[in-house]
Amino acid sequence: MSRSTAEAPVILSCGDPAGVGPELAVKAWEALGAALPFVWIGDPAHLPRGTKMREIDHPAEAMTQAGNGLCVLPHAFPSAALPGEPNLENAQAVIDVIARGVALVMRGEGLALTTAPINKRVLKDGAGFSFPGHTEYLAHLAGGAKVVMMLASERVTPPCRVVPATIHIALRDVPTAFTPDLLRETVRITSEGLRRDFGLENPRLAVAGLNPHAGEGGAMGREEMEWIGAVVESLRKEGYAVTGPLPPDTMFHPAARARYDGAICAYHDQALIPIKTLDFDGGVNVTLGLPFVRTSPDHGTAYDIAGTGKASPASLISALKMAQKMGLARRG
């Protein structure tokens, strides 16, 4: 691979232009400048007034222009964006920007994709978006790849990496959706992703129980006895370094995290509450299993503070840094 290809910029999709995405892209550029070339795809009219920016025609230009302003691949939106006021008219363009970013990284013109937050409901109501989030949409664009969502903080010690096996579904549906096949698939994809993108030879994975105290021998739930333990055991026999099921409430403190590299959780909040509590500012959302690297900040559109200047760029900066590191590692 040529040096110039390996050094392609990270692609940043604008996300919901009424959220904090545009202002955080500017703050990230102010913090990173030429040290981490990235290209923002979006409508220049949605950037804060006075933004120092360069419109470019091709991502490669960012490799020399990133020090001179936020590099922008312009994407025309039908409507203006007022901070904190979601606009259904812009929904389709938000989706199109994500697809454009994916096409660039699939062609190797971008090193990796970082996505700014979207509002799922706005995309559904405004454009009939049928996916629960980026994760499932990116898997679709990648031809139906089997993926998992992982949220990672490398800033806390030991690192905190969590994977919700089920994602955006109602809590009442979790016991049905969380199946032996899903657990097996989640462990395999996570193990391969941590090996490939995080340099861990045989990642140690800890599986959380579904019930309080991991069921406590059937006293408060039977899934652990009936199948979770057996799946963990069979994965161990296949060579995966997997343990569990562990009581979910005691597996996230530092001494417990030191015993594993990633936690496989049964549902969204079991995974996301610990990491957002430990490192809301620096957590990064990574999609494992895609043919390209995708990261994202761990927060949402934050309409309540959009346009006030209060939003912290820390999570987006961590996401861009992680994207660059993973992208360069994949290109060897």
**Residue numbers at the binding site for ligand LD2JLWAY (CB under 6 A):** 133-135, 272, 285, 296
Alpha-carbon distance of 152 to 276, in angstroms, equals 10
Question: Per rule CB under 6 A, is residue 296 in the interface with ligand NAI?
Answer: yes
Which stretches of the chain are assigned E, i.e. beta strand? 10-13, 38-42, 53-55, 70-74, 112-115, 148-153, 160-164, 204-208, 241-246, 262-265, 284-288, 294-297
DSSP conformational letter for 247:
P
Q: Rounded to the nearest whole angstrom, what is the least distance from the CB of residue 221 to ligand NAI in the complex?
A: 28
Alpha-carbon distance of 302 to 31, in angstroms, equals 21
Q: Rounded to the nearest whole angstrom, what is the least distance from the CB of residue 310 to ligand NAI in the complex?
A: 6
Q: Rounded to the nearest whole angstrom, what is the least distance from the CB of residue 21 to ligand NAI in the complex?
A: 9
Pick the stretch among 104-112, 222-230, 242-250, 309-317 that binds ligand NAI (CB under 6 A): 309-317
Degrees to nearest 5, angle at CA 20 with 18 and 24? 135
CB of 95 closer than 8 Å to CB of 101: no
Alpha-carbon distance of 27 to 208, in angstroms, equals 37
Question: Per rule CB under 6 A, is residue 268 in the interface with ligand NAI?
Answer: no
Question: Per rule CB under 6 A, is residue 117 in the interface with ligand NAI?
Answer: yes
- The tokens for 323 are 């994207």
**Annotated binding residue 75:** no
20 binds, among ligand NAI, ligand LD2JLWAY, none (CB under 5 to 8 A by kind): ligand NAI
Q: Rounded to the nearest whole angstrom, what is the least distance from the CB of residue 285 to ligand NAI in the complex?
A: 6
Task: Write the CA distances from 54 to 45, 61, 66, 72, 178, integer angstroms.
Answer: 13, 10, 8, 6, 47
Sheet holding 53-55, edge to edge: 53-55, 70-74, 38-42, 10-13, 112-115, 294-297, 284-288, 148-153, 160-164, 262-265, 204-208, 241-246
Q: Three-state DSSP class for 101?
A: helix
Kindly tell me which residue out of 119, 191, 295, 324 binds ligand NAI, with binding defined by CB under 6 A.
119
Query: Residues, the chain, total?
Result: 332
The contact pattern for ligand NAI, residues 1-20, with x = CB under 6 A and - = no contact, is -------------------x
Q: Three-state DSSP class for 297?
A: strand
Q: Rounded to the nearest whole angstrom, what is the least distance from the CB of residue 51 to ligand LD2JLWAY in the complex?
A: 25
Question: Per rule CB under 6 A, is residue 299 in the interface with ligand NAI?
Answer: yes
Kindly tell me which residue out of 102, 118, 264, 319 binds ligand NAI, with binding defined by CB under 6 A.
118
Question: Per rule CB under 6 A, is residue 311 in the interface with ligand NAI?
Answer: yes
CB of 56 closer than 8 Å to CB of 30: no
135 binds, among ligand NAI, ligand LD2JLWAY, none (CB under 5 to 8 A by kind): ligand LD2JLWAY
CB of 299 closer than 8 Å to CB of 19: no
236 binds, among ligand LD2JLWAY, ligand NAI, none (CB under 5 to 8 A by kind): none
- Return the number of the residue (148 or 302) whose C-beta is nearest ligand NAI: 302
Q: Rounded to the nearest whole angstrom, what is the least distance from the CB of residue 304 to ligand NAI in the complex?
A: 5
Alpha-carbon distance of 171 to 265, in angstroms, equals 13
Size of the site for ligand NAI (CB under 6 A): 18
Cβ neighbours of residue 13 under 8 Å, at least 6 residues apart? 41, 42, 97, 98, 100, 101, 113, 114, 115, 116
CB nearest ligand LD2JLWAY: which residue?
133
Q: Rounded to the nearest whole angstrom, what is the least distance from the CB of residue 291 to ligand NAI in the complex?
A: 20
- Specify the DSSP element, H or E, that contains 123: helix 120-127
The contact pattern for ligand NAI, residues 28-67, with x = CB under 6 A and - = no contact, is ----------------------------------------
Annotated binding site for substrate, which residues? 134-135, 276, 285, 294
Which residues are documented as binding site? 134-135, 168, 213, 268, 276, 285, 294
Q: What does the binding site for ligand NAI look like in residue numbers (CB under 6 A)?
A: 20, 117-121, 134, 285, 296, 299-302, 304-305, 311-312, 315
